[in-house]
Structure 1
Amino acid sequence: MILDDDQIRALVARPGEALSVEIKRWIDPSQPAGIAKIVKAAFALRNRNGGFLVIGFDDKTLQPDAANAPPDIRATFHQDVIQGLVSRYANEPFEVHVAFVEHEGGSFPVIAIPPGVRIPVVVKNSLSEGTGDKLLAVGDVYFRTLHANGTPSTAAARPHDWRDILDICFDNREADIGRFLRRQLAGQDASRLVAAFQGEAAPVDVLRERCNALLQQGQERFIGAQKDRGLSIVEQVLLDQLSWEIALAIDPPRPDALPDKEFLATIAASNPKYTGWPIWLDARTMSDERSRPVVRGGAWEALIVGLSDDTSNRLEFSRLDPKGEFYLRRLLQDDAVPRRIEPGTRLDPVLMIYRVTEAIAVGIAAAKGLGWSETATLGFMFRWRKLEGRRLDSWANPVIYVPGGGPSREDVITTFVEVPLTTAPSALPGLVEAATRELFVAFDGTRLSAETYEEQARRLIERRLTF
């Protein structure tokens, strides 16, 4: 399993629980209680289709649990130790990976659980304490789920969890079939095929109109937020660099929903966190209080601005409206790391496939977490600004060859896709292609292969990125 170092570091630098991330205090993997905690968390994350177990933090305060750290952290949580526990208790053994992150003078283990579950992981051996109390029982199935208040937790699967578990397993089983069908139907218009099978005409595109209005509103709110913030002269330079906007509208809308804390917590908990700086980042614990979300105009808004010499510059504005309208404006990496690439010169198509895949996947996860029904449809509108004069270049992933193109003569590109809430992860590559082909063709007519979309979208979903 290949891990994204930036993502692993971010999990420790900005710890926070989600359906795909569990935080634990220091525990002892050699003692029954510690074994049970690791096994339950690992199995729950696996059944949720992968994630991370971060050890050494208080899950309430999210501060390091420095007082209880073992004397030899790397030996205590060695890869072989953790893998041995999983293999001993899992009916279907799976590979795990243990990474160690240095933070605030300490070392913290991050246990990565891979996606791809096809059969629910079940406890195959029981475990008891010396008192006789049973900690693990044969047949137990654990799952990461949300409580009524939006708090993610690990628990024995309940009746309402089994639908999600089975959907995840079936999605993974259907991935190979989906890839086969996409190869056979390459170049076909999916909407026309569906209409032909159903014998129906395509409905009026109301979602497109909502997304277009949302882009306009989001841009206006962003201008107001950055003026209120009072950017410095140096920070204002970021306003004129490569930006990417997302407008997500969910149908049907919820006009009476309120932007309370539970709504924001549910979105944060539902985010799969595929990257170290995920789409619709949970900014509630940002060290700069000015970057934390606040309620304005019936929605949660957050403006994050940061200049860095050793990582990446940041300029990001988000707006989360509980009626089902989410907006994001982000400075793209191509102009945010001047020590690696000269701003204004390139657009990395592989990075863009990752970002669009993540945007759609996170939008689906958020809508499900917020309780939209299976009949819901998501509209995504994407807009890129400051494209003129750039060339396509996979500069961040030089080992991945993508035919270059350009320079672009277009400065702004806008695209739109509709996504059923029931869309399986295996169907994402086709949607990402639909959302980006107009973007890439602006660079001297460049078209990327279906195999490129397939492989790179899967790398993101399977957390196999190597930035």
Structure 2
Amino acid sequence: MTDFPIDWRAVVDEAIRRRKEEGFTQRQLALIAGVSVPTVNSFEQGETGLQFERVILILEALGLFLRPSAPDSLGAFVHKARRRWEELASSLPENHPARQPFGHSEYAYAIQGIRTPGLRVLRKALADLSSHSGLAPFWIPPRREAHIEPETDIMEYWAAEGNANQHILDAANSDFWQLDGEGQVYLQRGYQEDGRGNLEPGTIFDLTSPIRRTAEFLLFAAGTARLFGGDSKAGIHLTARYTGLEGRTLLSWTQPLLRIALEQHHRARTSRVDLDIVTDVGAVESDLVSLTETFLVPLYERFDGYRLPTDLVAAQIRELPNR
């Protein structure tokens, strides 16, 4: 017998209590955790035959499990940012589009080897960098709309704040981001494909958007490093998460003429994927195509093993501003 027995029913009951406290339905929890609705239902019924990793994903989504990591790591920063978004979103009506009910993407990065000048100066510098470079992986609004949380020394912006029943008409316009004094950035964004007036939400996944977004984030991180004295060896750690993938079909939606690149239907068979790469400024500046392609391989593999063509990655990156 183990010296640390687990009261499974107590764990399940606490998870159910936390889910209801956060205002999540089983479907919403499944999307956040990256598991199926039947898995959440089975867990809440107290079944003990579930895969351990799926149980961990559910508990992690509810803030009841934190994977081991250094206190100042990017992983810890991302975890806290997710919890903050969940806290904010819980104030919205259940079916509000800013809850991103059909899934979302998350991107985050940390830069090693630089010294940042504090949040307010950093915010202005990033806004200027975005303006001068033409790269805009996330929108940096006027100062009054992005505020600093005094207890955490983190600047955040949530597009739905104050607009719960007004301007946010679809998930694509419900950005949430955080920026800390070390220059770490987190962005959560609903899918443009799920926007109002498009095809049925949750049914398609754009072929090229992840390419451009990944390249933009890598370039923006490298530009930030250079801005604050980093050399070519300054490290960049980029992570991403895509949720709500299961059942979506890969489609060149934003660039219809590229549909010839897809000779057959490719449908996602799993709900979530996590992406991660550690590189440096020099590699971003000299080998962006390879880095972007490598980073995205696990995402596209979810779509019936689709292999992302290198030529397509290169073509999309050439279309970015100032490339």
Match of 1:292 among 125, 146, 161: 146
Check conservation: 1:259, 1:300, Cα contact below 8 A: no
Q: Residue 437 of structure 1 aligns with which residue?
A: 297
Distance 2:228 2:96 in 1: 35
Query: In structure 2, what residue type is equivalent to 1:407?
Result: R
Gaps of 5+ in 2: 1-68
Gaps of 5+ in 1: 1-205
Distance 1:236 1:338 in 2: 9
Q: Residue 211 of structure 1 aligns with which residue?
A: 74
| Structure 1 residue 260 displacement after superposition | 3.6
The aligned runs of 1:24-423 (5 Å cut-off) are: 210-227=73-90, 230-235=91-96, 238-252=99-113, 259-271=118-130, 272=132, 274=134, 278-284=136-142, 291-296=145-150, 297-305=152-160, 313-335=172-194, 337-401=195-259, 402-403=261-262, 405-423=265-283
Name the one with the larger helix percent: 2
| Structure 1 residue 410 displacement after superposition | 1.0
Deviations 1:150-169 (A, max 9, x none): xxxxxxxxxxxxxxxxxxxx
Q: Could you tell me the TM-score, scaled by structure 2's length?
A: 0.68
Change beyond 3 A, Cα 1:310–1:409: closer
Distance 1:273 1:238 in 2: 31
Check conservation: 2:100, 2:171, Cα contact below 8 A: no
Distance 1:310 1:251 in 2: 38
- Between the two proteins, the alignment pairs up a number of residues equal to 246
Check conservation: 1:245, 1:330, Cα contact below 8 A: yes
| Structure 1 residue 214 displacement after superposition | 2.9
Deviations 1:181-235 (A, max 9, x none): xxxxxxxxxxxxxxxxxxxxxxxxx99x9333332122112223334xx324452
Query: In structure 2, what residue type is equivalent to 1:370?
Result: F
- Alignment partner of 2:294: what SS? helix
- Alignment partner of 1:388: what SS? coil
Check conservation: 2:159, 2:173, Cα contact below 8 A: yes
Q: Could you tell me the TM-score, scaled by structure 1's length?
A: 0.48
- Alignment partner of 1:359: what SS? helix
| Structure 1 residue 266 displacement after superposition | 0.9
Highest RCO, 1 vs 2 (Cα 8 Å, sep ≥ 6): 2
Distance 1:315 1:345 in 2: 19
| Structure 1 residue 438 displacement after superposition | 0.7
Check conservation: 2:98, 2:171, Cα contact below 8 A: no
Q: CA RMSD in A?
A: 2.8
| Structure 1 residue 452 displacement after superposition | 0.6
Change beyond 3 A, Cα 1:270–1:232: same
Deviations 1:303-326 (A, max 9, x none): 112666999841111111121321
Query: In structure 1, what residue type is equivalent to 2:291?
Result: L
